[in-house]
Structure 1
């Protein structure tokens, strides 16, 4: 599911060949076109005048002495603050980048000055800006460019490709989103595509990001034939027929990107341009902060792509703040901490920091690379694998913890979750007490014995709640992999909460098993229903009692993820002294039907006191 686990190194090597080392002057001119609505980024004061939270205000953003009335007042709505002492309000005042006051209409109206802009909510609902606790904007922008193939059947996919080819009569055709369950075990074939697109290249990425479907012309341009060696035999390869000819089904990232780079050479500039197209979509989804869980490096440099964010920030066009990672995919482990420290010194601006160690602990159950405690049901010869031994896990996490670095661990199998928890436990025993914010991500399967350990060790459980629907991936494919007993125990955020643990949400866009999305409201609805969106009568993913309340799901996508990123004193709730990260929804998602949450439109998004969506 988390395609970044195998993508980044191969991707970075290709980008290095295509583009060389990137400089700020190499930014595409297209990046200068878009402008977001709202105020500038100048600093402003933070004096709380209504129901003051003095300690919070002083900790989050001290008064700089400028004072004065608010720049913007929102009034006449339902303000769900997510603050423990005042969960509901009617109005909010914003000055500069900061929330000045929260209270009743009368209290906030009294603060207005002659230049204050008053926005009537007219019964609409305000929430804190959404915090994405695990997402891949660059990879998502690259993979999802082109045709969306998230469709029910192979026939639907082929019909969509035919229409797309007719609408785009020249050039390469590409897209994303076809699913493994559309095809027989041998996968998709080039012949299906050749009948539609015989004379130009066409290739389409699977929804998990680990495979590709290509036509004969794409194979020809990439130089892939019966004599072409597989990049990683037995792991990343070109599926072949009985005569040894490639079928058009390409598995795993080394082979996929080798082909793509021959057909459409990859460059940092191209990646930046694709990201530009996604930024307004993120703002329209209400996203105001992200954890970028892995970018492709340029050669050995994991910071080159992250610097695209800082370029956008300098231009005043970055619509969210970013916490980024240094990624470890396998041994040797000696450079893990120094890698984070180098990035942390290099990239540390107001909106962008690179300060987390991302550890790719295993792969996916779909590919038999998630590490389990017991063998796979349909392959009893294997339990999967982790790139690291328990000794390496312990050494890496303990050293990072001693350096004050938070780790974020990809763990789909319950075996990897145990290794990760063991390493965190060892770090706690070895190092002095501190405020730790280590996270374990995805958690498709967690053993009962490990559920209470999240609370005991203070480890955050990071879920992609949009994966939690009953669908052909979670029901059919995972039933084959795990067997019925284990399959009925997948994705259990409520159990971790009940055991005293903390959870956060992040979509992991574009990676998915069945439904790829970057929209927090999609995740929130699925967490509440455990059903596919748009199908109120759809099956509920077992265990059904793992469904969350709306408040729990919203908290995971705001305060929970803010805490994960060490930002809960500045974002995640609507309180005086915090940064003005706000979303206005056309309806109250706490009041609409649980199957209608994802339909609710985000009408305004404000980040750091400026509108990034709506508000014009």
Structure 2
């Protein structure tokens, strides 16, 4: 009720008042004469397309609402009233009466593994399974259809099906005894392998855990049990092999189809150099003009190489200045994940009495952070645990001391547990938080089975802060971490960030960390203007303002006029990227 009233009041104030600051500002910015001056002072060129009779939530600084938008070429040339838009309508202008539908800036997914769509096409997809038995059935079917593969890989099994040391090799040996098989977990931080894969990698009872990784072992025999965590995964993956450039290109193109259908127009894929051929695939697609959305990707730094690797990253950035494809960030894997007991915590896990795994040596990280910052890169740090986040911030602080304060916008991704004292450090350092609101719930199969037993009840209740950051003026951008989150529709993420409860659940005690619930304006901003800020593209996108690129989406309903629990069901009707139509829903006008 409050949101409906708020929208009505705001619309009346902005649209109906003849002297509103918003109307004056947009008219002047669009090249129109201010009120009281004859319109003949300056001729207005017709627009290519004009949308009228809409609820245009601009997400500009004042969160203004308009009725109409005019686009010429790749840019927005007018935002304001329907009456004002008439001057932009010429004989060839395409005019669309949206009949009260909503216009938003294109959504921005600030951390998404777009290129990993390739694995869903060319390997074993376990996401539809929910038990060891179901996974084995899926694997058997794949092997039957691909009988001549020399190695096999896949993704999508869930840690809660096998807590503790994880799923075992013996289960896989029953269905794939001879061909090396490696299956990545849905969170990307554990690998389930058969005996043939362990043999291929030379992993035995005597193989030590690599730094930053864990070889899970049978508690009685000490033999590798079949699950590898974090850096230990590389021992097998380096032998299994990856995908070709052409396969990655197919995967990225398939992702784009999914993205524009969901209104996503800008993303950051952080997997450059982490896997062979990913960077090359993006580069070829850019040269072939086959990219339909904007990418500001990140290069994954190797913790074994340190600051000397930044020079190579600069060369990669310099050769990739396509408007739709650039590399502007360095990805750092600081720690692991809670479900693998590898997130790095200030206090030990309840079930294991260890603090987790810190993947980077803190001193090497600091020097690498300073070198990347000096070269003009953003840091894009994976950090789940509170201790990991503190160390990540230490490195950003060190970089500032070495290079001086500047508009760096370094980001920390995930932030499952954060020491409240560190939130003020985000603001002081100008750091951005990148969160995944899709996960803001006491998820069945995870919360009671993994998070509470591993973290203890008190810490589990403090997971995934968001509103605390916003209240202190920290920029918070939302993302999906697709394919960890298989369904990455931002509208679902917006709803989840507001409710923080599983769909269909009505018990208030099941709201995850309720004080951290965000508002609808908060959530929209996190997927638009704050996402643009996080990716250093807020000068060209993220809000509907004159002079910015025409990245806009049309929704079939006004988000402020429906119950919060219906936001996820709202449909994207049209997606434009730089004024070009890249998606139109076929069964609706």
Regarding TM over 0.5, the answer is yes
The alpha-carbon deviation at position 86 of structure 1 amounts to 5.9
Q: Deviations over 1:74-105 (max 9, x none)?
A: 22221111113462112211111101111222
Q: Which residue of 1 aligns with 2:319?
A: 346
**Which secondary structure does the structure 2 equivalent of 1:278 belong to?**
helix
Q: Among residues 383, 403, 417, which one is paired with 1:431 in the alignment?
A: 403
Q: Is the 8 A contact 2:189 2:337 kept in 1?
A: no
The alpha-carbon deviation at position 520 of structure 1 amounts to 1.7
Q: Which residue of 2 aligns with 1:284?
A: 261
Which structure has more RCO (C-alpha within 8 Å, separation ≥ 6)? 1
Is 1:553 aligned with 2:529? Answer: no
The alpha-carbon deviation at position 573 of structure 1 amounts to 0.5
Q: Deviations over 1:278-317 (max 9, x none)?
A: 2201111111111122234576xxxx53342343233332
Unmatched 5+ residue regions in structure 2? 1-23, 32-42
Q: Which residue of 2 aligns with 1:377?
A: 350
Is 1:105 aligned with 2:82? Answer: yes
Q: Is the 8 A contact 2:216 2:225 kept in 1?
A: yes
Unmatched 5+ residue regions in structure 1? 1-47, 56-65
Between 1:129-138 and 1:169-178, the stretch displaced more is 169-178
Q: Partners in 2 of 1:122 and 1:615 — Cα distance?
A: 16
Q: Among residues 119, 122, 145, which one is paired with 1:170 in the alignment?
A: 145
Q: Which residue of 2 aligns with 1:266?
A: 243
Q: Which residue of 2 aligns with 1:362?
A: 335
Query: Relative to structure 1, is the Cα distance of residues 87 and 469 closer, same or farther in structure 2, using a 3 angstrom cutoff?
Result: same
The alpha-carbon deviation at position 394 of structure 1 amounts to 3.3
TM superposition score normalised by structure 1: 0.78
Q: Is the 8 A contact 1:463 1:506 kept in 2?
A: yes
Q: Is the 8 A contact 2:198 2:236 kept in 1?
A: no
Is 1:183 aligned with 2:162? Answer: yes
The alpha-carbon deviation at position 503 of structure 1 amounts to 0.7
**Which secondary structure does the structure 2 equivalent of 1:373 belong to?**
coil
Query: Relative to structure 1, is the Cα distance of residues 361 and 238 closer, same or farther in structure 2, using a 3 angstrom cutoff?
Result: closer
The alpha-carbon deviation at position 606 of structure 1 amounts to 0.6
Q: Is the 8 A contact 2:205 2:224 kept in 1?
A: no
Q: Partners in 1 of 2:403 and 2:138 — Cα distance?
A: 60
Q: Partners in 1 of 2:85 and 2:231 — Cα distance?
A: 54
Q: Is the 8 A contact 2:119 2:154 kept in 1?
A: no
**Correspondence list, 1:493-504, <5 A:** 493-504=466-477
Q: Which residue of 2 aligns with 1:51?
A: 27
The alpha-carbon deviation at position 148 of structure 1 amounts to 5.5
Q: Partners in 2 of 1:277 and 1:430 — Cα distance?
A: 43
Q: Is the 8 A contact 1:509 1:517 kept in 2?
A: yes
Q: Is the 8 A contact 1:307 1:347 kept in 2?
A: no
**Which secondary structure does the structure 1 equivalent of 2:322 belong to?**
coil
Query: Relative to structure 1, is the Cα distance of residues 227 and 201 closer, same or farther in structure 2, using a 3 angstrom cutoff?
Result: closer
Q: Partners in 2 of 1:236 and 1:224 — Cα distance?
A: 17
Q: Which residue of 2 aligns with 1:446?
A: 418
Q: Partners in 1 of 2:529 and 2:267 — Cα distance?
A: 13
Q: Partners in 2 of 1:94 and 1:226 — Cα distance?
A: 56
**Cα RMSD between the aligned structures?**
3.5
Q: Which residue of 1 aligns with 2:559?
A: 589
Is 1:605 aligned with 2:575? Answer: yes
The alpha-carbon deviation at position 189 of structure 1 amounts to 4.8
Q: Partners in 2 of 1:151 and 1:291 — Cα distance?
A: 26
The alpha-carbon deviation at position 500 of structure 1 amounts to 2.0
Q: Which residue of 1 aligns with 2:107?
A: 130
Q: Which residue of 1 aligns with 2:298?
A: 325
Q: Partners in 2 of 1:78 and 1:158 — Cα distance?
A: 50
**Correspondence list, 1:32-51, <5 A:** 50-51=26-27
Q: Is the 8 A contact 1:363 1:371 kept in 2?
A: yes
Is 1:459 aligned with 2:431? Answer: yes
Between 1:336-345 and 1:286-295, the stretch displaced more is 336-345
Q: Which residue of 1 aligns with 2:39?
A: none
Is 1:580 aligned with 2:550? Answer: yes
Query: Relative to structure 1, is the Cα distance of residues 190 and 429 closer, same or farther in structure 2, using a 3 angstrom cutoff?
Result: closer
Q: Which residue of 2 aligns with 1:470?
A: 442
Number of equivalenced pairs: 544
Q: Partners in 2 of 1:212 and 1:361 — Cα distance?
A: 18
**Which secondary structure does the structure 1 equivalent of 2:295 belong to?**
strand
Q: Partners in 2 of 1:175 and 1:72 — Cα distance?
A: 45
Q: Is the 8 A contact 2:74 2:579 kept in 1?
A: yes
**Correspondence list, 1:69-108, <5 A:** 69-85=46-62, 87-108=64-85
Between 1:117-126 and 1:224-233, the stretch displaced more is 224-233
Query: Relative to structure 1, is the Cα distance of residues 223 and 50 closer, same or farther in structure 2, using a 3 angstrom cutoff?
Result: closer
Q: Partners in 2 of 1:232 and 1:123 — Cα distance?
A: 65
Q: Which residue of 2 aligns with 1:6?
A: none
The alpha-carbon deviation at position 501 of structure 1 amounts to 1.4
Q: Which residue of 2 aligns with 1:36?
A: none
Query: Relative to structure 1, is the Cα distance of residues 187 and 433 closer, same or farther in structure 2, using a 3 angstrom cutoff?
Result: closer
Q: Partners in 2 of 1:552 and 1:423 — Cα distance?
A: 28
Q: Deviations over 1:302-352 (max 9, x none)?
A: xx5334234323333212111122322314323243233222212112111
Q: Which residue of 1 aligns with 2:379?
A: 407
Q: Partners in 1 of 2:28 and 2:122 — Cα distance?
A: 47
The alpha-carbon deviation at position 600 of structure 1 amounts to 1.5
Q: Partners in 2 of 1:122 and 1:426 — Cα distance?
A: 53
Q: Is the 8 A contact 1:551 1:590 kept in 2?
A: no
Q: Deviations over 1:176-220 (max 9, x none)?
A: 4331212354543566667788999987542112334567xxx55
